[in-house]
C-alpha cells in the first residue's frame, strides 16, 4: 500500500496515525481512478461509435438502461463508507483523543512568526513558565517572564535551531502564532495545522522513525513564506533526555 | 418588442417586474445585514467576561443614549407609516395628500440622520482612559482647557499624541452613573456625576475615544449604523425624487407611478425593519 | 406592438440607412441599455482581463522554474514600472510574486471568468433563449457593467500604488491582509477591498436582473421545464451571487475598517508583528473573516462551473442532434447543488482547528454535493449515447470539458474528506484540483460558447481549422500544465511558494523542481496555443464566412429564431415556445430539429 | 386590478373603500409599533439577571414589531407565493451562516493537558 503512494511521491510516513490517512488517500484515489477509467472508456467508445459518420441519424430517446442510476447510488454508497468508516473516525481520533497522562506525552508549544518556527518545552521541572505578551519579541516569541518567574528559569525555548523529539512517544504540540496565520505542516508526519494568532490549537502525533524532519509553512504569511521552515530531529529516548536536561540546565529559556 | 410587465402584473406570478426586483434586492440585503449581525454576535459571545471598561475587551453595555435612540426609532417608524399612507393616497387618487405625506417622510429621514450625526459626534469626543494602576474611567475629554470640536473624527487624542505634544494632564468630565445595572463605573473618588477629574498623562496607560479603533463594539456600532444611515440617505433621496421631479409620471402613467411608490416604500420599510433590530441590539443589550 | 415591429425590422436590415435617430457612438456602445451590447462589452472586457491574468501567472511561472533568475525582457520592464524594490534586477521579489498571485486569482475569478460566463454569455443569450425583448431592467444592466468596469479599473490601478497591489492571496486572510503594510493604510489591500465592493455591487445588480428576467419575461409557452438548461444554470447561478456575495461585502467593509480606521474586526489581542506589539484594541477573530469569505467562496466556485455546464449542455445537445438525457434530473441536481453549496464552505477550513462534530457536518455536506454533480455529468455522458455527433470546434471543446471537469471534480473528493485533507491541504494538489475545474473546465466551456454563438453575435462563422488547432493545443498543454501539480502536491509542495519549493526540496527531491520547469514550458505552450484563437477571433469578425441562415447550427432554442445579429428588441414578433428546448431528431419530424418556436 | 384601466385606483369605488380600511389598519399598527418601542425600552430597566432572557425578550419584541411592519406595511400578509419562497430561502441561508459560523468557532479540539498562560 505504501509503495503505491510512494510511487506518487508521498514521503515515507513517520508517525503512527499516518497509516490511516494514507489508507484513506489510497482508497479515495482507487474510487476516483476506477470511476475515471470506467467513464473515460465509455466516453471514448461513445464518441467513436456515435460519431456522425457512423451514426448519421440520432436516436431521439437515447440510452434506455438504468445503469447510471445504480452507478450514482454506488458512488454515493462508497463515499458514505469512506466517510463513516474512515474519515470521521480518523478525524475524531485526531482531535478528540489526545494522549492520556499515563502515556507520558511530550508537550511542546510551537509558535510561528514571520518567518520562523519556535518551540517551547516546560523544562525538567515540568512547569510552564509564566508568559506575557509584554515580554514577547522576536527572540522571545513565547513572552517568557525569564527574570520574574522561577518556573520559567529552566524552560527550554528553541528559536532557530532544530529541536528534538523522542521516538515512539506521543507528542502534543500546541500550535499558535504571534503575528499572522501560518500553517504547521510536517509532510512526513502527516500533520498539518494552521497556526492562528489568538488561538492555540493542539495537535498530537507519535513519531516512529528516527530522523531529521522539516516543518514547512502551508499558509501564505508574507514575502518570506516560502523560506519559512523549521527543523526537528526524532531521536532515541536517551538522546532526547540528554539534550533536554542540558538545555534545561542552561536555563533562562536559552535563546539561540 | 417592448419589455412586458413593467407595471402590469404577470398573470402566473401575480407581480410586476419591479416588485420582483425589489424583493430580490431585499433578500440580498437580508444577507448583508445578516452577516453583520452574525459578526456582531460572534465577536460578542467570544468577548471576555466582566465589565467594560474595567476589562478592556469585555463587551460595553449601556453606552449609547437611550432616550435619543428611542426618539429616533419613533421618527423612523413614523416615516414608515407616512410612506405607506402616501401610497394609499395615490391608490385613492389623492395626489396632494400623497405629496405632503412624502414630504413628511423625507423630513423624518433627514431628522433621523441629523440626530444620528449628533450621536456620532458625542461618541467622537467621549473618551475612555485606562490608568496604569488598572482603573478606568470614561467621560468627555478636555485638553488644555479645550473640548474637541464638532465631528472631530480626524482630530483625535491618543496617548501618543499627548506625549508628543507634551500635554501634562487632561481633564475628563466623568460619566454619570446612569446605568442601572451599574456597569459603567468611575474612578473612586469622583464624587458626583460629570465631575471634572484631572489625570496626569504620566498615569495613563491608554486613552482613546469611542471610535472603531478603541473597541470592536464601536467598530460594529459605527459600521452597521453608518451602513444603515447610507440606506436611509439613499432611500430619502429616491423618495424625494418621487415626490417632486419624478411625480410627472403621475400624469402619464399613474399606475406605474403608484407601483414605484410601492417599491420605494418596500425599501423604506426594510430600512425601518433593520433599525427595529438594530436598536435593541446595539442600544439595549 | 405595431410600431415596435417595424422598428425592429428596420434595425434588422444590414447596412441600414435610416433617417430616424441613429444612436451616436456613446449611446450605442458605451451607454447602451441593450442586453446584447452589454453582453459584448462584458465579453471584450473579460477576455482582456483573462489575458492579463494569464500574463501575471506567466511571470510567476517563470519565477517558479528559474528561482533567482531575472525574467528576460519583461523583468526590466517590471523594474521600471514597479520600482526596484518590487522587481530587483528584473527578478520578482517575494512581495511581487505574492501580488501577482493574489491578482491572478482575483482577476481570473472575479474579473475574467465570472463576467464572461455570467455577464457576457448570460446577458447575451439568456433573454434570447427565453424569448424576451431585453432584460427586465435594462438601465440596471448597464449600471452593472459600468460598476464592474470601475471595479476592474480600481484593481488595475492598484498595481501602481506605492507598495503595490494586494498580496495576501485572493482569499485575503486577516491578519496578514491588515498588517502587510502598516505604514501605509491606503495600500494595495485597500484598493482590492474597494474594487471588490464595486465588483460585488455589480454582481448583485446583475443577479437581481437575471432572476427577475427569467421569472417575469419568459415568452408565451416558455414554461419552467421548457427552458434551455443554460437558462436554468444562469438562474441558479444568479441566486448564488445574490445571496452569497453580501456576506463577503460585509466582510470587505469590516476589513476596510480594520485597514483605514484601525478597528479590530479580524485582529485578536496581543499581535506582535516584526517584534513590536501592534497598537490595536484586539478582540476580533481571524476565523470570522474566513467564514465570511468562504461563505461566498464556495458558492462562487459553482458560479464558475454552473454556467459552464450550461454552455456545454447547449453545445452537446446541438451537436449530438438529440435531446439531453435526463433534463429534469439535471435541473433538480442543479438546484440541489445550488442549495448545498451554501452549507459546505468550511471544507476550506478543516485545518483551522475544527472539532469532530462540525467537521463531520461539513464533510458530509461536501460529499453530498458531489452526488448531484455526478448526476449532472452522468446525464451529459449518457446524452451522447445514440447521438449523431458532429465534431466542430465548439463541440470538441464541450466534449473535452467532460473529462477535464471529471478530473477536477474527482480530485475534490480527497480534499473533501478532512482526514486526507490533512495531508493535501494547501499543497499543489489543491492547485491542480481547482485549475482542472476552472482552467480546462470553465475556460473550455467559454471557448465552446464563443465558437457556438459567434455566428449569432457577428453574423459570421469562425474558422474551423484554426478552431480545431486551438482545441488540440489547449487540450494538450492544459493537461501538461496541471497534471504534474498533483505529483508535486503528493510530494508535499505547498502552494504560494515564491521559490517554487527550492528551499524545501533542494537536495531532497529534485524531480519536484524539474516538474516546475516542465510546467512552465507547457504554460508558455498554452499561451502559444491561444494564438490561433486570437487570430481566428479578430479575423472572423471581418472576413469570416457569412452565415447562410439565421440558424447555422440547425439549433432548436429561441436565440436562433431571431434575425442575425438580433436587432434591438430581439424578436420581430413575439415568440411562442411550443415544445421543450431540445427537440432534435424527433421521430417522424421533417428535419432532424424542431425549433421551439415552430408551430405544431 | 382590471386590465384596461389606466388609472388603477380611480376606477373602483369598492377599491377606495378597501384602501380606507387599510389606512385604519396602518394607523393601528403605527400605534402598536410605538408601544412596542416603549416596552422594549422599559424592559431594559428590568433586570432579568440572565443575559439570555434579556436577549430573548428584546429580540422577541423586535420580532413582533418586525412582523407588523413586514406583514402590514410591506403587505406580506397578502403577498404572492414567489415572494414568500424567496424570503424563506434567504432566511434559511442567513440562519445557516450565523449558526454554522458560531458552531464552527466554538467546536474546537480539546486542549486537555496543557494550560497555557499566554495566548498572543
Ligand atoms: C469551478 C470551481 C470548482 C468546483 C466545481 C469545485 C468542486 C469541488 N471542490 Fe473545489 N476548489 C475550488 C474550485 C472548485 N471546486 C477552488 C478555486 C479551490 C481552492 C481555493 C483556494 O484555497 O484558493 C477549491 C478547493 C477545494 C477544497 C479545499 C482544499 C484545501 O484547501 O485543502 C475542497 C475540500 O473539500 C474542495 C472540494 C471540492 C469538491 C468535493 C467538489 C465537488 O463539487 C466536485 C464534484 C464533481 C465530481 C465528483 C466529478 C463528477 C464527474 C465525473 C466523475 C465525470 C468523470 C468524467 C470522465 C472521467 C470522462 N475544493
Ligand atoms: C478562474 C480562475 C483561474 C484560471 C482560469 C486560472 C488559469 C491559470 N492558472 Fe491559476 N489560479 C487561480 C485561478 C485561476 N487560474 C486562483 C484562484 C489561484 C490561487 C491564487 C492564490 O494563491 O491566492 C491560482 C493560482 C495559480 C498558481 C499557483 C500560484 C502559487 O500558489 O504560487 C498557478 C501556478 O502555476 C496558476 C497557473 C495558472 C495557469 C497556467 C492558468 C492557465 O490556465 C491560464 C490560461 C489562460 C490563457 C492561456 C489566456 C488565454 C487568453 C485568451 C483566450 C484571451 C484572448 C483575448 C482576446 C480574444 C481579446 N494559477
Ligand atoms: Cu508562515 Cu507561510
Ligand atoms: Cu469549496
Q: Is A196 on the interface with C (CB under 8 A)?
A: yes
The DSSP annotation for A86-124 comes to IIHHHHHHHHH-PPPGGG--EEEEEEEETTEEEEEE-TT
Shortest Cα distance from C280 to chain A (angstroms)?
13
In a domain, D63, yes or no: yes
Nearest residue to C435 (alpha-carbon basis) of C503, C519, C360? C519
Residue tagged 418556436 (cell numbers): C597
Nearest residue to C600 (alpha-carbon basis) of C580, C582, C578, C571? C578
Cell numbers found for residue B3: 419589455
Q: Give the residue extent of every domain in chain B.
A: 23-55+65-123+216-284, 126-209
Q: How confident is the model at residue A2 (pLDDT cuts 50, 70, 90)?
A: low
Chain A residues whose CB is inside 8 A of the D111 CB are: 174, 200-202
Are D45 and D87 part of one and the same domain?
no
Q: Whose CA is nearest to atom 56 of ligand 2?
A: C47
Are D24 and D67 part of one and the same domain?
yes
- Residue A165, beta-bridge partner list: A234
Q: Do C211 and B15 touch (CB under 8 A)?
A: no
* pTM for this model (two decimals): 0.94
D72-111 residues touching C, CB cutoff 8 A: 82, 89-90, 93, 96-97, 100-101, 103-105, 107-110
Helix or strand run (H / E) with residue B196: strand B196-200
Residue-level pLDDT at B86: 94
Q: Give A142's Cβ-side CA count (13 Å radius).
A: 31
Residue C304 CA: nearest ligand 2 atom is 1
Are D92 and D71 part of one and the same domain?
no
The Cα A42–Cα A100 span in angstroms is: 52
Residue-level pLDDT at B176: 65
Instruction: Pinpoint the residues of chain A covered by CATH 2.60.40.420.
Output: 103-250
Instruction: Give the number of domains in chain D.
Output: 2
Q: Which CATH architecture has domain A2-96?
A: Orthogonal Bundle (1.10)
The Cα D5–Cα C335 span in angstroms is: 39
- What does the pLDDT look like over C173-188, one tens digit per residue? 989 999 887 777 788 9
Shortest Cα distance from A70 to chain D (angstroms)?
32
pLDDT higher than threshold 80 for residue C23:
no
pLDDT higher than threshold 70 for residue C123:
yes
D50-109 residues touching A, CB cutoff 8 A: 108-109
The Cα C133–Cα C573 span in angstroms is: 10
Q: Is B31 on the interface with D (CB under 8 A)?
A: yes
Chain D residues whose CB is inside 8 A of the C369 CB are: none
Are D51 and D93 part of one and the same domain?
no
- Sheet strands (E) in A98-219: 106-113, 116-121, 156-158, 163-166, 171-177, 182-186, 191-195, 201-205, 211-217
Q: How far is CA A244 from CA A104, A123, A166, C121, C344, in A?
A: 15, 7, 10, 65, 45
Instruction: Among C57, C451, C467, C519, name the best residue to mutate to test ligand 2's pocket (greatest count of ligand atoms within 8 A of Cβ).
Output: C57
In a domain, D114, yes or no: no
Are D67 and D12 part of one and the same domain?
yes
Nearest residue to C174 (alpha-carbon basis) of C256, C276, C272? C256
3-state helix, strand, coil in chain C (%, to 5): 70, 0, 30
Sign of CA dihedral A83, A84, A86, A88: positive
Pocket of ligand 1 contains residue C301 by CB under 6 Å: yes
Q: Which of B255-269, C270-284, C581-595, D11-25 has the lowest mean pLDDT?
A: D11-25
Contact B19, B262 (CB under 8 A): yes
pLDDT higher than threshold 70 for residue C1:
no
Question: Average pLDDT of B213-223?
Answer: 93
Are D40 and D65 part of one and the same domain?
yes
DSSP SS3 for A45: helix
Question: Average pLDDT of C476-486?
Answer: 95
Question: How many other C-beta atoms can be found within 10 angstroms of the C-beta atom of residue C420?
Answer: 28
The Cα C56–Cα C155 span in angstroms is: 14
- Percent of chain C at pLDDT exceeding 90: 76
Contacts of A86 (CB under 8 A, 6+ apart): A20, A23, A24, A27, C417, C419
Greater confidence (C506 vs B86) lies with B86
Residue A218 CA: nearest ligand 3 atom is 2
Q: Do B24 and C207 touch (CB under 8 A)?
A: yes
Q: Do D109 and C247 touch (CB under 8 A)?
A: no
Q: Whose CA is nearest to atom 44 of ligand 1?
A: C409
Sign of CA dihedral C433, C437, C443, C447: positive
Query: Which ligand is nearest to the Cα of residue C430, counting in written order?
Result: 1
* Closest Cβ opposite residue C270 in set D93, D109, D120: D120
Q: Do B3 and C1 touch (CB under 8 A)?
A: no
Q: Do B13 and D80 touch (CB under 8 A)?
A: yes
| C106 alpha carbon – ligand 2 mean position (Å) | 10
The CATH number of A103-250, from 2.40.50.140, 2.60.40.420, 3.80.30.20, 3.90.1150.10, is 2.60.40.420
Q: How confident is the model at residue B202 (pLDDT cuts 50, 70, 90)?
A: confident
Q: Give B123's Cβ-side CA count (13 Å radius).
A: 22
The Cα A34–Cα B169 span in angstroms is: 77
In B144-155, which positions are buried (b, 16+ CB within 10 angstroms) versus exposed (e)?
Answer: eeeebeeeeeee
Q: What letter would DSSP give residue C437?
A: I
pLDDT higher than threshold 50 for residue B178:
no
**Helices vs. strands in chain A: H and E counts, helices first:** 6, 10
Are D59 and D83 part of one and the same domain?
no
- Percent of chain B at pLDDT exceeding 70: 92
In a domain, D35, yes or no: yes
Contact C452, C311 (CB under 8 A): yes
Chain D residues whose CB is inside 8 A of the A101 CB are: 113
Pocket of ligand 1 contains residue C348 by CB under 6 Å: yes
Q: How far is CA C267 from CA B212, C253, C271, C294, C370, in A?
A: 13, 14, 8, 18, 35
Q: Which of B156-160, C393-397, C552-556 has the lowest mean pLDDT?
A: B156-160
Helix or strand run (H / E) with residue B204: strand B204-209
Q: Whose CA is nearest to atom 1 of ligand 3?
A: A182
Instruction: Pinpoint the residues of chain A covered by CATH 1.10.287.
Output: 2-96
The CATH number of B23-55+65-123+216-284, from 2.40.110.10, 3.40.50.720, 1.20.120.80, 3.30.230.10, is 1.20.120.80
Rg (CA), chain D: 24
Torsion of the alpha carbons at C423, C428, C431 and C437, rounded to the nearest 10:
-80
In a domain, D120, yes or no: no
Query: Which ligand is nearest to the Cα of residue A218, counting in written order?
Result: 3
Q: How confident is the model at residue A253 (pLDDT cuts 50, 70, 90)?
A: low
Chain D residues whose CB is inside 8 A of the B97 CB are: none
For residue D82, what are the domain limits? 78-107
Residue tagged 421569472 (cell numbers): C215
Question: Average pLDDT of D64-82?
Answer: 88
Query: Which ligand is nearest to the Cα of residue C412, counting in written order?
Result: 1
| C114 alpha carbon – ligand 3 mean position (Å) | 30
Chain B residues whose CB is inside 8 A of the C271 CB are: none
Length of chain B: 285
Q: Is D107 on the interface with B (CB under 8 A)?
A: no
Q: Do C272 and A113 touch (CB under 8 A)?
A: yes
Amino acid at each position: 500500500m505504501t509503495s503505491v503512494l510512494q510511487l506518487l511521491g508521498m514521503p515515507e510516513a513517520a508517525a503512527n496515525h499516518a497509516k490511516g490517512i494514507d489508507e484513506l488517500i489510497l482508497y479515495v484515489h482507487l474510487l476516483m481512478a476506477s470511476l475515471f477509467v470506467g467513464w473515460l472508456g465509455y466516453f471514448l467508445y461513445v464518441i467513436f461509435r456515435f460519431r456522425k459518420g457512423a451514426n448519421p441519424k440520432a436516436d431521439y430517446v437515447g440510452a434506455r438502461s438504468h445503469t447510471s442510476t445504480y452507478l450514482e447510488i454506488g458512488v454515493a454508497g462508497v463515499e458514505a463508507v469512506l466517510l463513516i468508516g474512515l474519515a470521521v473516525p480518523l478525524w475524531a481520533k485526531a482531535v478528540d483523543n489526545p494522549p492520556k497522562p499515563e502515556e507520558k506525552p511530550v508537550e511542546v508549544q510551537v509558535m510561528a512568526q514571520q518567518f520562523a518556527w519556535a518551540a517551547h518545552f516546560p523544562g525538567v521541572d515540568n512547569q510552564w513558565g509564566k508568559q506575557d505578551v509584554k515580554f514577547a519579541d522576536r527572540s522571545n516569541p513565547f513572552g517568557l517572564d525569564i527574570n520574574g518567574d522561577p518556573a520559567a528559569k529552566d524552560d527550554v525555548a528553541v528559536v532557530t535551531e532544530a529541536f528534538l523529539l523522542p521516538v515512539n512517544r506521543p507528542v502534543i504540540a500546541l500550535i499558535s502564532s504571534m503575528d499572522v496565520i501560518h500553517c504547521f505542516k510536517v509532510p512526513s508526519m502527516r500533520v498539518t495545522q494552521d497556526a492562528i494568532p489568538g488561538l492555540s490549537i493542539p495537535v498530537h502525533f507519535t513519531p516512529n522513525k528516527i530522523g531529521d524532519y522539516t516543518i514547512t509553512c502551508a499558509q501564505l504569511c508574507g514575502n518570506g513564506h516560502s523560506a519559512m521552515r523549521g527543523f526537528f530531529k526524532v531521536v532515541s529516548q536517551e538522546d532526547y533526555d540528554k539534550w533536554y536536561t542540558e538545555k534545561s540546565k542552561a536555563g533562562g529559556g536559552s535563546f539561540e | 418588442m417592448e419589455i412586458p410587465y413593467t407595471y402590469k402584473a404577470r398573470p402566473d406570478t401575480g407581480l410586476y417586474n419591479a416588485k420582483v426586483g425589489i424583493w430580490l434586492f431585499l433578500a440580498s440585503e437580508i444577507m448583508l445585514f445578516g452577516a453583520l449581525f452574525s459578526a456582531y454576535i460572534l465577536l460578542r459571545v467570544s468577548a471576555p467576561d466582566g465589565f467594560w471598561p474595567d476589562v478592556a475587551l469585555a463587551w460595553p453595555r449601556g453606552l449609547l443614549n437611550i432616550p435619543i435612540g428611542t426618539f429616533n426609532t419613533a421618527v423612523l417608524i413614523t416615516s414608515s407609516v407616512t410612506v405607506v399612507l402616501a401610497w394609499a393616497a395615490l391608490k385613492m387618487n389623492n395626489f396632494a395628500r400623497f405629496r405632503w405625506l412624502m414630504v413628511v417622510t423625507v423630513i423624518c429621514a433627514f431628522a433621523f440622520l441629523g440626530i444620528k450625526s449628533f450621536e456620532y459626534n458625542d461618541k467622537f469626543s467621549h473618551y475612555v482612559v485606562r490608568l496604569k494602576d488598572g482603573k478606568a474611567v470614561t467621560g468627555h475629554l478636555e485638553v488644555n482647557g479645550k473640548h474637541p470640536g464638532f465631528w472631530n473624527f480626524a482630530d483625535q487624542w491618543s496617548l501618543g499624541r499627548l506625549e508628543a505634544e507634551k500635554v501634562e494632564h487632561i481633564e475628563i468630565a466623568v460619566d454619570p452613573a446612569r446605568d442601572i445595572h451599574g456597569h459603567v463605573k468611575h474612578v473612586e473618588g469622583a464624587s458626583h456625576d460629570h465631575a471634572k477629574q484631572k489625570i496626569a498623562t504620566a498615569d495613563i496607560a491608554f486613552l482613546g475615544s469611542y471610535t472603531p479603533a478603541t473597541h470592536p463594539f464601536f467598530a460594529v456600532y459605527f459600521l452597521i449604523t453608518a451602513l444603515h444611515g447610507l440606506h436611509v440617505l439613499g432611500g430619502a433621496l429616491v423618495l424625494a425624487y418621487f415626490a417632486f421631479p419624478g411625480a410627472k409620471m403621475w400624469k402619464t402613467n399613474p399606475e406605474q407611478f403608484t407601483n414605484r411608490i410601492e417599491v420605494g416604500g418596500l425599501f423604506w420599510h426594510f430600512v425601518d425593519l433593520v433599525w427595529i433590530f438594530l436598536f435593541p441590539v446595539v442600544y439595549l443589550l | 406592438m405595431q410600431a415596435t415591429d417595424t422598428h425592429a425590422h428596420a434595425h434588422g436590415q444590414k447596412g441600414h440607412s435610416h433617417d430616424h435617430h441613429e444612436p451616436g457612438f456613446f449611446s450605442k456602445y458605451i451607454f447602451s441599455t441593450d442586453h446584447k451590447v452589454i453582453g459584448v462589452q462584458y465579453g471584450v472586457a473579460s477576455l482582456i482581463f483573462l489575458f492579463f491574468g494569464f500574463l501575471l501567472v506567466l511571470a510567476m511561472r517563470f519565477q517558479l522554474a528559474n528561482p533567482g533568475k531575472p525574467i528576460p525582457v519583461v523583468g526590466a520592464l517590471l523594474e521600471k514600472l514597479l520600482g526596484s524594490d518590487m522587481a530587483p534586477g528584473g527578478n520578482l521579489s517575494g512581495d511581487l510574486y505574492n501580488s501577482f498571485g493574489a491578482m491572478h486569482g482575483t482577476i481570473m475569478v472575479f474579473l475574467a471568468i465570472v463576467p464572461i460566463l455570467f455577464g457576457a454569455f448570460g446577458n447575451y443569450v439568456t433573454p434570447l433563449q427565453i424569448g424576451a425583448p431585453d432584460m427586465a431592467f435594462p438601465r440596471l444592466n448597464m449600471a452593472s457593467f459600468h460598476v464592474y468596469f470601475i471595479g476592474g479599473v480600481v484593481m488595475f490601478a492598484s498595481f501602481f500604488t506605492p507598495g503595490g497591489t494586494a498580496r495576501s492571496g485572493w482569499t485575503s486572510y486577516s491578519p496578514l491582509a491588515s498588517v502587510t503594510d502598516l505604514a501605509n493604510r491606503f495600500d494595495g489591500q485597500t484598493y482590492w477591498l474597494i474594487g471588490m465592493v464595486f465588483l460585488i455591487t455589480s454582481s448583485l445588480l446583475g443577479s437581481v436582473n437575471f432572476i427577475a428576467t427569467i421569472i417575469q419575461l419568459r415568452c408565451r409557452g416558455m414554461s419552467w421545464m421548457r427552458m434551455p438548461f443554460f437558462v436554468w444554470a444562469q438562474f441558479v447561478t444568479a441566486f448564488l451571487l445574490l445571496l452569497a456575495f453580501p456576506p463577503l461585502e460585509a466582510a470587505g467593509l469590516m476589513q476596510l475598517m480594520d485597514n483605514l480606521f484601525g478597528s479590530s474586526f479580524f485582529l485578536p489581542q496581543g499581535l506582535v508583528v516584526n517584534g513590536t506589539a501592534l497598537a490595536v484594541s484586539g478582540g476580533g477573530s481571524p476565523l470570522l473573516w474566513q467564514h465570511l469569505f468562504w461563505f461566498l467562496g464556495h458558492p462562487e466556485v459553482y458560479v464558475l462551473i454552473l454556467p459552464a455546464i450550461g454552455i456545454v449542455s447547449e453545445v452537446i445537445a446541438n451537436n449530438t442532434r438529440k435531446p439531453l438525457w435526463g433534463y429534469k434530473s439535471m435541473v433538480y441536481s442543479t438546484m440541489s447543488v445550488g442549495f448545498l453549496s451554501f452549507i459546505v464552505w468550511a471544507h476550506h477550513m478543516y485545518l483551522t482547528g475544527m472539532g469532530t462534530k462540525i467537521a463531520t457536518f461539513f464533510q458530509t455536506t461536501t460529499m453530498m454535493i458531489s452526488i448531484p454533480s455526478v448526476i449532472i455529468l452522468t446525464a451529459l455522458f449518457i446524452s451522447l449515447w445514440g447521438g449523431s455527433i458532429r465534431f466542430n470546434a465548439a463541440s470538441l471543446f464541450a466534449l473535452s470539458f467532460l473529462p477535464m471537469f471529471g478530473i477536477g471534480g474527482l480530485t475534490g473528493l480527497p480534499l473533501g474528506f478532512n482526514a486526507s485533507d490533512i495531508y493535501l491541504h494547501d499543497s499543489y494538489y489543491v492547485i491542480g484540483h481547482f485549475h482542472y475545474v476552472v482552467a480546462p473546465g470553465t475556460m473550455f466551456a467559454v471557448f465552446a460558447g464563443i465558437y457556438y454563438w459567434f455566428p449569432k453575435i457577428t453574423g459570421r462563422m469562425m474558422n474551423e481549422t484554426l478552431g480545431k488547432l486551438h482545441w488540440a493545443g489547449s487540450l494538450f498543454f492544459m493537461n501538461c500544465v496541471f497534471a504534474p501539480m498533483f505529483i508535486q502536491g503528493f510530494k508535499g509542495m505547498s502552494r504560494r511558494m515564491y521559490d517554487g519549493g527550492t528551499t524545501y526540496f533542494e537536495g531532497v527531491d529534485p524531480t519536484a523542481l524539474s516538474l516546475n520547469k516542465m510546467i512552465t514550458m507547457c504554460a508558455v505552450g498554452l499561451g502559444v496555443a491561444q494564438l490561433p484563437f486570437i487570430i481566428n477571433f479578430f479575423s472572423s469578425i471581418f472576413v469570416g464566412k457569412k452565415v447562410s441562415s439565421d440558424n447555422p447550427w440547425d439549433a432548436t432554442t429561441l436565440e436562433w429564431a431571431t434575425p442575425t445579429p438580433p436587432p434591438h428588441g430581439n424578436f420581430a414578433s413575439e415568440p411562442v415556445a411550443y415544445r421543450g428546448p431540445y427537440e432534435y431528431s424527433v421521430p417522424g419530424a421533417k428535419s432532424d430539429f424542431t425549433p421551439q418556436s415552430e408551430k405544431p | 386590478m382590471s386590465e384596461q384601466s389606466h388609472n388603477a385606483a380611480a376606477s373602483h369605488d369598492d377599491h377606495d373603500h378597501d384602501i380606507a380600511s387599510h389606512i385604519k389598519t396602518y394607523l393601528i399598527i403605527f400605534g402598536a409599533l410605538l408601544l412596542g418601542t416603549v416596552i422594549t425600552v422599559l424592559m431594559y430597566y428590568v433586570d432579568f439577571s440572565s443575559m439570555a432572557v434579556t436577549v430573548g425578550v428584546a429580540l422577541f419584541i423586535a420580532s413582533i414589531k418586525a412582523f407588523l411592519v413586514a406583514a402590514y406595511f410591506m403587505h406580506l400578509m397578502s403577498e404572492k407565493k414567489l415572494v414568500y419562497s424567496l424570503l424563506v430561502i434567504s432566511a434559511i441561508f442567513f440562519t445557516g451562516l450565523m449558526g454554522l459560523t458560531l458552531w464552527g468557532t466554538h467546536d474546537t479540539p480539546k486542549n486537555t493537558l496543557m494550560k497555557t498562560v499566554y495566548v498572543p
